[in-house]
Structure 1
Amino acid sequence: MARTSAAGGPGATDEVVAWRPPRVPGISEVLHASFGTHGYPVHTHSTWTLLIVDDGAVRYDLDRRPHGTEEAPVTLLPPGIAHDGRAASGSGFRKRVLYLDPGQLDAARLGQDGVGPAVDRPAIADPVLHRRLDELHRILTDPDAGLHAESRLALVVERLTRHLAPARGSGGTGPGDGLAGRLRELLDARTVDGVTLDEAGRLLHAHPGHLVRSFSRRFGLPPHRYLDARRVEHARALLLDGLPPAAAAATAGFHDQAHLHRRFVRLLGVTPGRYARSGTRTR
């Protein structure tokens, strides 16, 4: 697999390699990327985002609170919580990311639907965890990793659980509670077909304006931006499974390929076609 040797400065070509590892349950996607200029707008994932930065540093707001990867070598971002991302300096950054299925971290055992500790403490200062992640990423570049990668993933998840467990039993309102949570559930169920605010208002017995305010206040981005991010996430999986961009656009709920292209580039800094081709380099 080709890699960049450094993040590259302003104006440098951004590099993205993404793939879905075969026979490794629990990992929905692997992404290795170098960005000199791209900044991530506010968005969410349905997965846990586990990343290490190999060169440079990333600044980000998580749930509208500022953080940076300089704080610790490992960063864990929980599902459903709004965040952005940008280079901490003009030299850009190079990162490796695992997108973990939500069930990999036991929400019932971790408290607050599994997101409270990670929202409060996304930076994890654990050299052992960092080393295990580095090893896992190296193994995942082998298409036949199989059981070896599963074993390494189990060690990573065990270590993450240890870091999140101290917050067990903490109180507070989880992201699925209240009107905003019900609207998010509706958007998740209608990701492809979509839903108008008027229809959502009728279904949830709330004024559309109140829906937008409640959702934006709770999740840090308006409903349409959340829906865009979910559709892009769906399209990413389809592209890495080999679906052409036009078909992925239609299947994920975009009006057409051009609509997918605009949203994809805005969020990920690369075109859908380039993203899809990057996955073939690991097969």
Structure 2
Amino acid sequence: MSGSPHVRVWSPSVSGITEVLHAQFTDHAYPMHTHGTWTLLTVDDGIVKYDLDRHEHGAFRQVVTLLPPDVAHNGCPVTPHGFRKRVLYLDPAQLGEHLIGRAVDRPAFDDAALRRRIDLLHARLAEPGNEFAAEVHLAFVAERLQAHLTRRTPGVAAVHDPLIARRLRDLLDERFVPGVTMREAAGILYAHPTYLVRAFSAAFGIGPHQYLVSRRVDLARRLLREGMPAREVAVEAGFYDQAHLSRHFKRILGFNPGQYGSSALRPGRPSHVTGASGRP
């Protein structure tokens, strides 16, 4: 019996990603077709069999699959219950045309660290307001894919550049409310996004996205103490909406903005947050 597919597709506000697809199919078989983008595929359940350049391959949970632009491929489920997959369609410039032949020869990578980064990237893309974090993960994913395709050993290189780290921190301090993309930061500071992230993390012990969110939460606390409603605080502090503010506020402080706002410190009166644990 045929099963109805479950599909979610959207175009994120992240430079370099044209489309995101989350889908579950029971018996659908893709005919031979092409995409004008790099297709970065992870399979969460089941197995997909596909042909690429007249060679048969398989996509399954343990591997990351990268299909190059403008090269025909098909796909069909191997198991009776079908497959569940997530796909990122990447702009061709993310990896470069010169690597297409390498991807045809080797479209799959058994790389747990790459898979974890892709999982984190999907998680950030599914949450509105996390474009900056998604860009950080995308930069690392692209770098690791390029390392595989150029036969270099993927690794995390230490970067000690306190000057560029301070310049990035100054930029984030200046723009933490409206935000700044990693591509913009890279253009302003003349450095690759992954270099910026590694230099910042090495210098300050925190990633640039976490730092930016911390600055926004600090501003939100001040505005809440001043009596501004949480829905207005979210906008003033640079969050996507009140839910976005609440998620990050609670993750960092252990309690939500409503608890904080109703119990915030008043002159001559100690503060108390019901249900909170730890210290602010």
TM-score range, shorter chain: 0.5 to 0.7
Tell me which of the two structures has the higher relative contact order, counting C-alpha pairs closer than 8 angstroms and 6 or more residues apart: 1
CA distance in 2, matches of 1:71, 1:100: 20
CA distance in 2, matches of 1:71, 1:41: 22
Q: CA deviation at 1:70?
A: 3.8
| Partner residue in 2 for 1:41 | 31
Determine whether 1:75 maps to 2:69.
Answer: no
Instruction: Map 1:221-260 to 2 at 5 A.
Output: none
Please tell me whether the aligned partners of residues 40 and 65 of structure 2 are also in contact (alpha carbons under 8 angstroms).
yes
2:116 to 118, 128, 131: 131
Determine whether 1:28 maps to 2:13.
Answer: no
Query: Which letter maps to 2:8?
Result: V
Please tell me whether the aligned partners of residues 47 and 99 of structure 1 are also in contact (alpha carbons under 8 angstroms).
yes
1:19 to 10, 25, 43: 10
Please tell me whether the aligned partners of residues 71 and 123 of structure 1 are also in contact (alpha carbons under 8 angstroms).
no
| Partner residue in 2 for 1:269 | none
Deviations 1:221-275 (A, max 9, x none): xxxxxxxxxxxxxxxxxxxxxxxxxxxxxxxxxxxxxxxxxxxxxxxxxxxxxxx
Tell me the secondary structure at the aligned position of residue 166 of structure 1: coil
Q: CA deviation at 1:100?
A: 0.2
| Partner residue in 2 for 1:62 | 52
| Partner residue in 2 for 1:99 | 89
| Partner residue in 1 for 2:106 | 121
CA distance in 2, matches of 1:114, 1:158: 13
Query: Which letter maps to 1:165?
Result: T
Q: CA deviation at 1:91?
A: 1.2
Q: TM-score, normalised by structure 1?
A: 0.52
Tell me the secondary structure at the aligned position of residue 134 of structure 1: helix
CA distance in 1, matches of 2:131, 2:119: 17
- 4+ residue segments displaced more than 2 Å: none
CA distance in 2, matches of 1:27, 1:118: 18
Q: Which protein shows a greater Rg? A: 2
CA distance in 2, matches of 1:154, 1:64: 31
| Partner residue in 1 for 2:134 | 149
Q: CA deviation at 1:71?
A: 8.7
Please tell me whether the aligned partners of residues 41 and 85 of structure 1 are also in contact (alpha carbons under 8 angstroms).
yes
User: Are the structure 2 counterparts of residues 123 and 54 from structure 1 closer, same or farther at C-alpha, using a change threshold of 3 Å?
Assistant: same
Segments of structure 2 that go 5 or more residues without pairing to the other structure are: 153-280
Please tell me whether the aligned partners of residues 72 and 123 of structure 1 are also in contact (alpha carbons under 8 angstroms).
no
User: Are the structure 2 counterparts of residues 31 and 70 from structure 1 closer, same or farther at C-alpha, using a change threshold of 3 Å?
Assistant: closer
Segments of structure 1 that go 5 or more residues without pairing to the other structure are: 1-9, 108-112, 168-283
Deviations 1:94-119 (A, max 9, x none): 00000000000033xxxxx3211110
Determine whether 1:90 maps to 2:75.
Answer: no
Please tell me whether the aligned partners of residues 45 and 61 of structure 2 are also in contact (alpha carbons under 8 angstroms).
no
Query: Which letter maps to 2:23?
Result: A
| Partner residue in 2 for 1:160 | 145
Please tell me whether the aligned partners of residues 21 and 27 of structure 1 are also in contact (alpha carbons under 8 angstroms).
yes
CA distance in 2, matches of 1:135, 1:126: 15
Q: What is the percent sequence identity of the aligned residues?
A: 55
Please tell me whether the aligned partners of residues 43 and 60 of structure 2 are also in contact (alpha carbons under 8 angstroms).
no
CA distance in 1, matches of 2:107, 2:9: 23
Tell me the secondary structure at the aligned position of residue 150 of structure 2: helix
